[in-house]
């Protein structure tokens, strides 16, 4: 079902800049597929230090001082040159997965668990966040922890408002651009009031060598209680 939606996007030459929902007939059943630009998440490899600090304070539950100190340590680790690399042509270390946060001095596993759903190590060149694609946890970061403002924005966004009210969200951290990197989630009924959620992160412009015009970055599945 996800492949069918990807094909439709490519045929229509569609740039995705907000969350969209498609219903696809596959294997005799209707499958709901959600498509979201990956830049609705916070890029571990591009986020500036103030955004990292806001993430750590709001989502991580740290004090302002603790968040600023750990954000500085994370950016310093990310942008540093590994000692083993050396040489003038060496590249910054960068994060390869969200789990690499645990390599930063001061990060705990509990903190990693809180941040992992809100970040991506695959994004490149995305120093800001697209609020039209952001999950509630990321919107809370943009809103400085103001849950009421987030609920209001989500209501407008979910209602199809052509111009949601962005006031209360930090403009310095926002960018409404689309992305060629997407997160697609297929919701498949699996009986016994359960829904299987199949998730794939893909990039649309680097897959031709693999026989299809996209490349899988990550994929996983989970089971949840069926809605309704």
Query: Following DSSP, what letter does each residue of 30-88 receive, concatenated?
Result: EEEEEEEEGGGSEETTT--HHHHHHHHHHTT---HHHHHHHHHHHHHHHHSPPTTT-ST
What tens digit of pLDDT does each residue of 51-95 get?
Answer: 999 999 999 999 999 999 999 999 999 998 765 555 555 678 899
Domain shared by 203 and 150, yes or no: no
36 and 107 assigned to the same domain: no
Rounded to two decimals, the pTM is: 0.88
Bridge partners of 185, per DSSP, are 34, 199
What is the spatial distance between Cα 33 and Cα 199, in angstroms, rounded to a whole number?
Answer: 10
Given the DSSP bridges, would you call strands 20-26 and 29-37 parallel, antiparallel or unpaired?
antiparallel
Chain segment 122-155, per-residue pLDDT in tens: 998 899 999 999 999 999 999 999 999 999 999 9
Residues 115 and 62 in one domain: yes
Same domain (yes/no): 32, 52: no
- 148 and 194 co-located in one domain: no
Asked whether residue 96 carries a pLDDT value surpassing 70, the answer given is yes
pLDDT 10s digits, 150-191: 999 999 998 876 678 999 999 999 999 999 999 999 998 876
Question: Mean pLDDT, the chain, as a whole number?
Answer: 89
Return the higher-pLDDT residue of 172 and 26. 172
Residues 32 and 108 placed together within one structural domain of the fold: no
Domain range for 195 is: 2-40+178-225
Highest averaged pLDDT of the listed ranges 12-26, 136-150, 208-222: 136-150
70 and 144 in a single domain? The answer is yes
* pLDDT at residue number 209: 58
Q: Looking at the structure, tell me whether residues 140 and 182 fall in a common domain.
A: no
- Identify whether residues 8 and 114 lie together within a single domain: no
Per the model's pLDDT, the better-predicted residue between 49 and 222 turns out to be 49
Three-class SS of residue 119?
strand
- C-alpha 142/C-alpha 171 separation (Å) is 8
């Amino acid at each position: 079902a996800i492949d069918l939606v990807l094909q439709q996007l490519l045929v229509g030459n569609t740039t995705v800049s907000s969350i969209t929902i498609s219903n696809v007939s596959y294997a005799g059943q209707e499958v709901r597929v959600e498509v979201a630009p990956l830049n609705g998440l916070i890029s571990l490899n591009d986020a500036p230090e103030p955004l990292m600090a806001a993430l750590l304070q709001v989502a991580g539950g740290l004090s302002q001082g603790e968040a600023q100190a750990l954000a500085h340590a994370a950016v310093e680790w990310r942008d540093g040159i590994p000692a083993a690399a050396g040489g003038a042509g060496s590249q910054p270390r960068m994060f390869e997965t969200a789990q690499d946060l645990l390599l930063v001095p001061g990060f705990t596993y509990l903190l990693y668990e809180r941040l992992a759903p809100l970040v991506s190590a695959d994004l490149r060149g995305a120093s800001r966040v697209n609020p039209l694609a952001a999950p509630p946890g990321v919107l809370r970061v943009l809103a400085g922890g103001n849950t009421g403002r987030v609920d209001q924005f989500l209501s407008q966004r979910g209602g199809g408002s052509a111009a949601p009210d962005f006031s209360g969200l930090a403009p310095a951290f926002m960018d409404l651009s689309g992305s060629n990197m997407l997160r697609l989630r297929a919701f498949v009924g699996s009986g016994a009031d359960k829904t299987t959620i199949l998730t794939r992160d893909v990039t649309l412009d680097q897959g031709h060598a693999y026989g299809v015009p996209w490349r899988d970055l990550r994929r996983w599945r989970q089971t949840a209680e069926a809605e309704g």
